[in-house]
């Protein structure tokens, strides 16, 4: 079993429902152990689009990194994600941030996520569930990385994604 950290974002359709469906589908192939609060953020990269809702989750899995990537790409497709331009609007986006303490770079997968340390919209929800997780290459914790970026446009929403903590642990 490997512990992994994922980020999930959406800025089209019923955004909260998109996040809930993604967590539910992920729980069918891995054991979800923590889900962050929901954060609303301005778009990153291509800014002429709706605001995003973002969460992070922790899970354990028996899948390999490549199998995990295939699994999450299938979930994105099943939930209605269609190809668009780089950093464009999307119904759902699921990224592997960390996979245990592995460092891996292949043609279609980089672990840890290559832009992780630059993205407040990822680091803020990640710090809510794994502030002490250390980057295997730099040694910096998630909390330390968060203090190094501008998070002024990252807003934690007061409503939880799931009504009770047990809801996300018993979603399938």
CATH H-level superfamily of 2-114+154-169 = 7,8-Dihydro-6-hydroxymethylpterin-pyrophosphokinase HPPK (3.30.70.560)
Is residue 95 part of the annotated active site? The answer reads: yes
Q: Identify which of 123, 149, 117 has the alpha carbon closest to the alpha carbon of residue 39.
A: 123
Catalytic residue among 93, 132, 150, 169: 93
- Give residue-wise pLDDT tens across range 18-47: 999 999 999 999 999 999 999 999 887 667
Catalytic residue among 17, 90, 119, 156: 90
- Give residue-wise pLDDT tens across range 89-113: 788 999 999 999 999 998 888 898 8
Residues 72 and 139: their CA atoms lie apart, in Å, by 27
Strand partners, 3: 60
**String of DSSP letters for 51-77:** PEEEEEEEEEESS-HHHHHHHHHHHHH
Is residue 132 part of the annotated active site? The answer reads: no
Catalytic residue among 81, 86, 153, 167: 81
Domain boundaries, the chain: 2-114+154-169
CB contact at 8 A, 32 and 66: no
CB contact at 8 A, 124 and 40: no
């Amino acid at each position: 079993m490997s512990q992994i950290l994922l980020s999930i974002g959406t800025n089209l359709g019923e955004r909260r429902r998109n996040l809930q469906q993604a967590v539910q589908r992920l729980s069918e192939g891995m054991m979800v152990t923590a889900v962050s609060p929901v954060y609303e953020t301005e778009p990153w990269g291509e800014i002429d689009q709706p605001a995003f809702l973002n969460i992070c989750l922790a899970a354990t899995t028996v899948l390999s990194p490549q199998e995990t990537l295939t699994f999450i790409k299938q979930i994105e497709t099943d939930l209605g994600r269609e190809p668009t331009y780089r950093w464009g609007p999307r119904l759902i986006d699921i990224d592997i941030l960390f996979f245990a303490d592995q460092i891996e770079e292949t043609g279609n997968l980089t672990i840890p996520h290559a832009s992780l340390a630059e993205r407040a919209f990822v680091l803020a929800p990640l710090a809510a569930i794994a502030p002490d997780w250390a980057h295997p290459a730099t040694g910096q914790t998630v909390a330390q990385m968060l203090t190094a970026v501008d998070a002024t446009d990252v807003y934690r929403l007061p409503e939880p994604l799931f009504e009770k903590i047990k809801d996300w642990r018993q979603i399938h």
